[in-house]
Structure 1
Amino acid sequence: MPKQGYHHGNLRQALIDAALELIELRGPTGFTLSEAAKQAGVTPAAVYRHFEGREDLIAEGALQGYVIFAELMETAYNSGQPSALKAFEATSRAYLAFARANPGHYIAMFESGISVNRTPELAAAANRANNVLEQAASDLSQHIPVEKRPPASMFSAHVWAFSHGVVELFARNSPGRASPFPADELLESGVGIYLRGLGLVDPDT
């Protein structure tokens, strides 16, 4: 149902919010700028006062998503301190929590085809989130002998990829995909197996 106009003159944010709702419902290519304008309760011409096209609108949604994501990751990382293991585990869980709570943002960020290098602001926000996980991986890897220690960037990339896979396959109701286990358990057990392989978690844990 179309919104009854926007409030406080914040047309730009009203359009972003409308686009995020449509992205969640139809995917990043399943709506037009005219539909976003209608959803926000304004005329199609009003969109072009703020955005050159649909990709610009989606990119702004992705930017806001990365800002939220980075803040969530930082909060998770800090909540697990001073234990490097708990801080790392908290950041991996934060990925799943973000995807569930912010599906429109998540799709704009990871499924729209929008490059994180589209704008300096988008790249900076994406790097901020990535850096939190890499820092958590770096902290934890200090407990691995130097000769067996993977680069922190590789360590964090492995866990990011695993988290992303769990979200895509089992946490977003992908058609034809089902798991006999909750996504949270899949993620926790998978990360646990990875950490045990690095000698960071006791085999009996």
Structure 2
Amino acid sequence: MKQSDIIPFYGGKYPELFEIERRCMDREGKVIDFLNSSLPNGKILDIGAGNGFTAEKVMHSSRQIIAMEPDDNMIDQHKDLVWAKGTAQHIPFHSNTFEAAYATWAFFFNGIPDLDQGLKEAKRVVKSGGDIIIVDNYGHDEFLSYSKQNLSSDSKMWTERGFTAHFIETAFIFDSVEEARTLLSFYFGEAGQTVEKTTFEYKVVAYTKQVE
């Protein structure tokens, strides 16, 4: 694993902010519901698992999640998960190891120069007939309207690679206005400091493709 392959992420440096994000993002669990209904039983790879928040929620007695994360500061050893250290570009498993693989807001972003290397690796380790699922921002919603940058995923980029898009309407739901301001001002600067509410429309897209 090369250090240059790791995408810098704020969660390891500011765990208190990441805790707010994971607790309040998709608080109704619609993305988790989608993953639970889409993932098969058996051994599943979580690419860029972060602190294991999602892996913990989609794991059950018939489904083992391998939480792969390159950043030591993100790995939460207190969670009852099997951890692996690796990047999307160089997945440290044999070919045809997993029934499926997924990534939630990790690595597969617009403009990543080695995107196709990551997809090639995901396809290599997933068995024929298994799915690859990529969850990202859809955009065109209230939450991302605070951003000066375009943080929406590029649907065309994914459909050109044979993926199907599934849209999920969810929300960021905070415990207080102060909490909302804390996270949104970290994300969006001055615009986030002006919020006066606790719930923000948020649209997500899940791209799925079956490995041949």
**TM exceeding 0.5:** no
Structure with the bigger RCO (C-alpha within 8 Å, sep 6+) is 2
Q: Shorter-chain-normalised TM-score: which range?
A: under 0.3
Structure with the higher fraction of residues in strand conformation? 2
Instruction: Give the TM-score normalised by structure 1.
Output: 0.21
Greater helix content: 1
